[in-house]
Amino acid sequence: MLRLSTKGQYGVRAMFELAKNYEKGPLTIKEIAARQGVSISYLEQLLNKLRKSKLIKSQKGPGGGYVINKKPEEISVGLILSSLEGPVAIAQCLGPSAKGCKRVEGCVTRLLWKSLGEKIEDFLDTINLNDLLKEETKLLR
């Protein structure tokens, strides 16, 4: 239960690659796709969304590619995921298109999902790309 789509997973991994590379200049989509074993076409869509939410910027032409648009410590995993998949919405009655559920008032389970959602978002917002970078150097040691 509560599976995250591959979109979110690939997206975070791509951002992680970009963060690792951000002082060396742009990374081509081809390179990112190769490192992750994902198709270029699919990755394009994700990077597109991330670019539109200003988390990354792109540079065309030879030598171009993608770079993160903020420092790694300023980009939380929560930001990445909400750019790609919208806000956490455990139940429909909590999402942007809330409708149908007539028991909004006094609905105990709704409160439950709401507070779970908040817990998750809090967690995701406290973790940024720099944390992941540090985590990796720790693992490789």
Partner DNA sequence: ATAATAGTCTACTGTTATTGTCAAGTATTG
Partner DNA sequence: CAATACTTGACAATAACAGTAGACTATTAT
Residue 63 binding DNA, by CB under 7 A: yes
Please answer whether residues 18 and 67 qualify as being in contact, where contact means their C-beta atoms are separated by less than 8 angstroms: yes
DSSP 74: G
| Residue 67 contact, options DNA, its own copies, none, Cβ 5-8 Å cut-off depending on partner type | none
Name which of 30, 20, 47 is nearest 134 in CA terms: 20
| Chain positions contacting its own copies, by CB under 8 A | 1-5, 8-9, 12-13, 16, 77, 81-82, 84-92, 106, 108-109, 111-113, 116-117, 119-120, 123-124, 127, 132, 135-136, 139-140
Give Cβ neighbours of residue 137 (< 8 Å, ≥ 6 apart): none
Which stretches of the chain bind DNA, using CB under 7 A? 1, 3, 5-7, 10, 26, 28-30, 38-39, 41-42, 44-45, 47-48, 51, 58-66, 85
